[in-house]
Amino acid sequence: MKLWDYINEDLLRAKSSQIREIRALDNGKTVRVLCISSILISALLIVQFAVSPGLPEGSIIQYLYILTFGAIAVFSVVWYFLLSAISDTKSLRILTYVYAVGATLLTTSLTLVDLAHMTDYSAYCFGLLTLPLFVRTSIMTYVLIVAVNFFWFLVGYEFVLNEKIDFNTLAPIIAFSIGSLFSSVIVETARLKGNFLQLQLEESNRNLLELSHKDQLTGLYNRRHLMEAMNTMLSASKRYDFPVSALLLDLDNFKKANDMLGHLTGDRLLARIGGLLFGLVRDCDVAARYGGEEFCIILTNTGKDGALFVAERIRNSIESEIFEGVPWRVTVSIGISTLESDQNTEDFLKVADEKLYQSKSTGRNRVSA
């Protein structure tokens, strides 16, 4: 893949809310690990330079080392507790970027201290090459962090060390900067592939879960989900003492529609009924296809009077609806059951079924409770 194509693709990924959230959560974990590592390493090196620095006693270099490692340790302690206390992904992202810039600037400063008495670029190398290992972000942010450190090194070398910048000085800095950027491309590309596979798997699992609980023809819940939801709702009703009612609906003369108009028209009729029912119940209720041309609605926190009102509204809505391809008026019969304290799920539905039979046997297109 061409580098420019990668940069364009990465800019699009950086705008993805899902990828940004995953990156932020990953950063919150890995940067805390980096903070602990930095604290332990800094503490060890502070002790070394205080006890056996390998420098003339009282040298300004010794104090600069202790000061720099002390700053890294304090900075890491503060950021560890900040990252541990915050779960908001936007705040995590900002804290991560600030830590990445601050930590690499400190390692660049450490490089300047090294160069004050020996030729050693290891701190600069460590700071930039570990950046993509612990911090996840877009390629443009990596470029920005590397550029800030590069110019901070130039300023420090010229004005703090009072040394003349030449190619031999710049060559390792440029090399480590390029290495950091290309490492970030490789590492983040691998991470993103894993993230996309993870997101696709989660989406597939959600779709499979939804399919296992939905009736494909009507878009309502299927009988399996209905029974699970009903058991949960009935248990909650008995525990917290709120009413629950069930409506059992059956399309009148549906066999006539199938026989005279064909099964495709019958399927369209069932699908349209499902759409109507979905729009006529509350979000807290459960509307499901019970089987064939039968539908069941579980009304939470609804007694007998409320269930009668809902049932009549459904019956009137279906009766007044014009169904494409059906030349007669479509009606439904409805039976209502309101939960009693001694009823189980089977008894609860049995009452609704008996009331539905009563509606069918007394002329159809009516509600019985």
Model-wide pTM > 0.75: no
pLDDT at residue number 5: 64
- Count of CA atoms in the C-beta half-sphere (13 A) of 18: 9
For residue range 321-352, what is the model confidence (pLDDT) as tens digits?
888 878 888 889 999 999 888 888 888 889 99
CATH number, span 223-367: 3.30.70.270
Provide DSSP, 330-364.
--EEEEEEE--TT--HHHHHHHHHHHHHHHHHTTS
* Average pLDDT over every residue of 14-26: 78
* Banded model confidence at residue 174, pLDDT cuts 50, 70, 90: very high
* Banded model confidence at residue 156, pLDDT cuts 50, 70, 90: very high
* Average pLDDT over every residue of 23-31: 88
* Average pLDDT over every residue of 230-235: 88
116: tokens are: 């004050």
Residues 6+ apart with CB under 8 A from 31: 79, 83, 95, 96, 99, 100, 134, 135
The Cα 142–Cα 3 span in angstroms is 14
| Distance (Å) of CA 351 to CA 268, 309, 345, 355 | 30, 18, 10, 6
φ, ψ of residue 323 in degrees (nearest 5): -105, 125
* Average pLDDT over every residue of 151-175: 91
φ, ψ of residue 14 in degrees (nearest 5): -65, -20
* Average pLDDT over every residue of 262-282: 87
The Cα 347–Cα 250 span in angstroms is 19
Provide DSSP, 97-110.
HHHHHHHHHHHHHH
Percentage with pLDDT > 90 across the chain: 34
Provide the pairing of β-strand 332-338 with 367-368. parallel
Write down the mean pLDDT value for the chain.
87
The Cα 336–Cα 334 span in angstroms is 7
* Banded model confidence at residue 150, pLDDT cuts 50, 70, 90: very high
The residue whose two tokens read 């691998």 is 190
Cα angle value 32/35/37 (rounded, 5°) = 115
φ, ψ of residue 121 in degrees (nearest 5): -105, 15
Burial of 12 (0-12, 13-18, 19+ CB in 10 A): exposed
- The domain spans of the chain are 3-207, 223-367
pLDDT at 8 over 70: no
